[in-house]
C-alpha cells in the first residue's frame, strides 16, 4: 500500500500546525505545503512590532523556513506557489509556480485548505495610492519601514481601530510619527463594549494620538504638494482632511474562499467555508482551518468568523488528527483575545453585551475596578472589569478587562472557567495563587463572582451607566457617597452628595417615594450604601462600576445604550 499524499494549501498558523502534527502522527505520509507568499511560517501577530523596532530583525519573525521544515519534519514546502484549482472528482489540485509560471497537477488523498483571509478593500477613491499599506505579511512591513525611513515620514493615518490598527498606531508613535486613528464606528475595538473601549480612547488621547470616531473615510486625495503630505490627504465624512505621509489600511479582513467557491464547496452565510465539528468541508476528502472558515460561537451558538492565531493553530492540529484516524472535535471558539496599547492591556473572552442584547439572550452586566495586586503593596494598578452572565442560570457569558497590569491572567482564568462550564457563583470559590506582589486574598476573579452572587441572591440590584442620562428626577434620586475630594474631580450630573460615613446620620434627607441609585468611585462603597439603605426600607439600586465606568463611557461618542433586557437593569 502506497503512502498517503496529503496536500496543504497555505502555511502560517493553521497550515503549518497541521503539517507538523501530520508528520508526528504519520511518518510515512507524503506531505506537501503550498504557500503563495515567500514565507511559509512567520509570526503574523508580531508584524506591527517589527515596524516599531521592538522586534529588531526581520528574521526574528520567521518561525520556520522550507529548509528547516524539511530537515525537522520532512515536509515538502513550495513557497511562491499558488494553488489555482481543485478537481474534486480526480482528487487533484493545479499549482502554479509564481516565479516561473509553470503549472503542475498534484494528486491528493487528503487536502487541507488554510488560505487565510484577505484585507477588506472598500471602493474608496485613491485607496491604491503610493504610501498606502496593508499589514498582512513580512514584505508588507518591510515596505512600511522602508517608506518611513526613505521618506522621512512625520504624519501617519491609521484607518481602522481594530487589533492591527491600534497596534500599528502604537508602533508608529514609537517611531516618532504624529498618528491619527480613523474609525467608522463610535468606538475602537469592536469586541469590547463602549464603556470598556472608552479606556482605550483615553489612552490614545493621552499619547497625543488624534482619534476620529464615528467618522468614516470617504476618499484619499492626491496631496496638492508632496511637502504637505507624501501619501494622501485622507478625507472623512465630517469634512475633516488629514494630510498623511503614510496610511495604514486596517479595515478588517474577509475569508479567502475563491478556491473553495470555484471547487463547489459549501460556504456559510457569513462567506466563510462551512465545516463540520471535525473541520471537514462538504467534501469528505477536504478539510479547512483558520481565517477562511466559519466556526461556532461557544456562547451564542451562532456561526462566526474569527481570524485569530490561537484557534487557527488548534484547528490545524485537530484537522490532522481526524485525517490520521483520531476522531477529534472542534467545539467552537470563545473569541479570547488581548491587546497592548501603550500603558494599557485590553482583553476579552466570550460574548459582549452588544451581541447578547441583539440576540435577545438574557444577561446581567456587572462592573468592578479591583487592584492588580494587594493595595498595600506598592505599585497596584486598577483593572476595569466587566462580567456578563445569565441571571437565571449563573452561566458565565463573557468578560472584558482593561488595565496597566494583571489583565492577562484574569481573562485567562475567566476563559478557562467558561471552558469548564463554571457559573459566576463558582468564581467566588476559586482558589487562586496569592502573595501581595501578585494579587489579593480576594482576587479580582473572586470579587467578580461575589458581586454576581449578590445579584443572583437578591442582595443588590444594579443600575447601568447608560441609564444615567435617562433618569427622571421625579422618580429617581441619584446619590453620590464618595468623599468631597473625589467629587471635586468630577461627578455624575444631577447627583446629591452624602459621604458614606455620614449616611446613617442623614437618612432623613433621602426620599422614600423615589428609587435611589447610589454611586461611588468604583461600585464597592455604593454597594455598602445600597445594603444599608435597603435594610432601612428604601428602594435602591447600585450603579455598577459607578463613576469610573460612567466616565470611561463618556469617551465613546454616540455610544448607543443597550436595549432593556431580562436582567436586573
With vertex at residue 47, the alpha carbon angle to CA 44 and CA 48, rounded to the nearest 5 degrees, is 135
Q: Do the beta carbons of residue 179 and residue 78 sit within 8 Å?
A: no
Give the CA distances from residue 161 to residues 44, 123, 197, 208, 505, in Å, rounded to whole numbers and listed in that order: 18, 19, 11, 16, 49
* Annotated catalytic residue 45: yes
Radius of gyration for the chain, computed over Cα atoms and rounded to the nearest angstrom: 26
- Who's near 315: CB < 8 A, 6+ residues apart? 14, 17, 279, 289, 290, 293, 330
Neighbours of 253 (CB within 10 A): 18
Beta bridge partners of 42: 62
- Who's near 562: CB < 8 A, 6+ residues apart? 353, 354, 357, 464, 466
Look at residue 482 and give its three-state secondary structure: coil
Cα distance between residue 220 and residue 388, in whole Å: 40
Buried b / exposed e along 76-98 (16+ C-beta atoms within 10 A): ebbbebbbeebebeebbbebbee
Q: Do the beta carbons of residue 305 and residue 255 sit within 8 Å?
A: yes
Q: Do the beta carbons of residue 194 and residue 187 sit within 8 Å?
A: yes
Residues recognised as catalytic: 45
Amino acid at each position: 500500500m502506497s503512502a498517503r499524499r496529503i496536500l496543504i494549501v497555505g502555511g502560517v498558523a493553521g497550515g503549518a500546525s497541521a503539517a507538523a502534527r501530520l508528520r508526528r502522527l504519520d511518518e510515512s505520509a507524503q506531505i506537501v505545503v503550498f504557500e503563495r507568499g515567500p514565507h511559509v511560517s512567520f509570526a503574523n501577530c508580531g508584524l506591527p512590532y517589527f515596524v516599531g523596532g521592538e522586534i529588531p530583525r526581520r528574521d526574528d519573525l520567521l518561525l520556520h523556513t522550507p529548509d528547516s521544515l524539511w530537515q525537522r519534519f520532512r515536509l515538502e514546502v513550495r513557497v511562491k506557489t499558488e494553488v489555482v484549482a481543485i478537481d474534486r472528482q480526480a482528487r487533484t489540485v493545479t499549482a502554479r509556480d509564481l516565479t516561473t509560471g509553470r503549472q503542475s497537477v498534484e494528486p491528493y488523498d487528503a487536502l487541507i485548505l488554510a488560505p487565510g483571509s484577505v484585507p477588506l478593500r472598500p471602493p474608496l477613491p485613491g485607496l491604491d495610492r503610493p504610501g498606502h499599506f496593508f499589514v498582512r505579511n513580512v514584505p508588507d512591513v518591510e515596505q512600511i519601514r522602508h517608506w518611513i525611513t526613505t521618506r522621512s515620514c512625520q504624519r501617519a493615518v491609521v484607518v481602522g481601530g481594530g487589533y492591527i490598527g491600534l497596534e500599528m498606531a502604537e508602533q508608529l508613535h514609537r517611531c516618532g510619527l504624529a498618528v491619527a486613528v480613523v474609525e467608522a464606528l463610535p468606538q475602537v475595538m469592536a469586541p469590547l463594549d463602549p464603556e470598556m473601549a472608552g479606556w482605550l480612547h483615553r489612552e490614545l488621547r493621552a499619547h497625543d494620538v488624534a482619534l476620529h470616531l464615528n467618522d468614516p473615510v470617504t476618499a484619499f486625495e492626491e496631496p496638492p504638494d508632496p511637502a504637505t503630505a507624501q501619501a494622501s490627504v485622507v478625507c472623512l465624512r465630517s469634512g475633516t482632511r488629514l494630510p498623511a505621509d503614510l496610511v495604514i489600511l486596517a479595515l478588517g479582513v474577509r475569508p479567502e474562499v475563491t478556491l473553495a467557491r470555484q471547487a463547489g464547496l459549501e460556504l456559510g452565510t457569513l462567506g466563510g467555508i462551512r465545516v463540520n465539528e471535525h473541520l471537514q468541508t462538504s467534501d469528505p476528502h477536504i478539510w479547512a482551518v483558520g481565517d477562511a472558515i466559519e466556526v461556532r460561537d461557544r456562547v451564542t451558538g451562532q456561526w462566526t468568523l474569527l481570524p485569530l492565531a490561537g484557534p487557527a493553530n488548534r484547528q490545524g492540529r485537530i484537522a490532522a488528527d481526524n485525517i490520521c484516524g483520531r476522531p477529534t472535535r472542534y467545539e467552537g471558539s470563545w473569541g479570547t483575545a488581548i491587546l497592548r496599547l501603550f500603558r494599557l492591556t485590553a482583553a476579552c473572552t466570550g460574548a459582549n453585551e452588544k451581541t447578547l442584547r441583539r440576540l435577545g439572550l438574557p444577561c446581567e452586566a456587572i462592573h468592578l475596578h479591583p487592584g492588580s495586586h494587594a493595595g498595600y503593596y506598592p505599585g497596584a494598578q486598577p483593572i476595569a472589569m466587566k462580567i456578563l452572565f445569565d441571571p437565571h442560570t449563573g452561566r458565565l457569558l463573557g468578560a472584558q478587562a482593561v488595565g496597566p497590569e494583571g489583565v492577562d491572567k484574569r481573562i485567562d482564568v475567566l476563559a478557562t472557567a467558561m471552558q469548564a462550564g463554571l457559573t459566576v457563583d463558582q468564581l467566588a470559590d476559586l482558589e487562586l495563587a496569592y502573595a501581595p506582589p501578585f494579587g489579593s486574598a480576594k482576587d479580582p476573579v473572586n470579587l467578580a463572582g461575589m458581586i454576581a452572587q449578590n445579584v443572583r441572591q437578591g442582595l443588590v440590584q444594579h443600575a447601568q451607566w447608560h441609564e444615567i442620562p435617562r433618569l427622571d428626577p421625579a422618580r429617581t434620586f441619584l446619590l453620590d457617597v464618595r468623599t468631597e475630594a473625589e467629587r471635586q474631580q468630577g461627578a455624575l450630573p444631577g447627583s446629591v452628595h452624602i459621604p458614606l460615613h455620614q449616611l446613617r446620620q442623614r437618612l432623613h434627607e433621602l426620599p422614600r417615594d423615589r428609587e435611589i441609585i447610589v454611586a461611588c468611585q468604583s461600585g464597592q462603597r455604593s454597594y455598602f450604601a445600597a445594603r444599608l439603605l435597603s435594610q432601612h426600607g428604601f428602594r435602591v439600586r447600585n450603579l455598577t462600576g459607578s463613576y469610573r465606568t460612567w466616565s470611561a463611557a463618556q469617551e465613546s461618542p454616540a455610544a448607543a445604550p443597550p436595549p432593556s433586557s431580562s436582567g436586573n437593569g
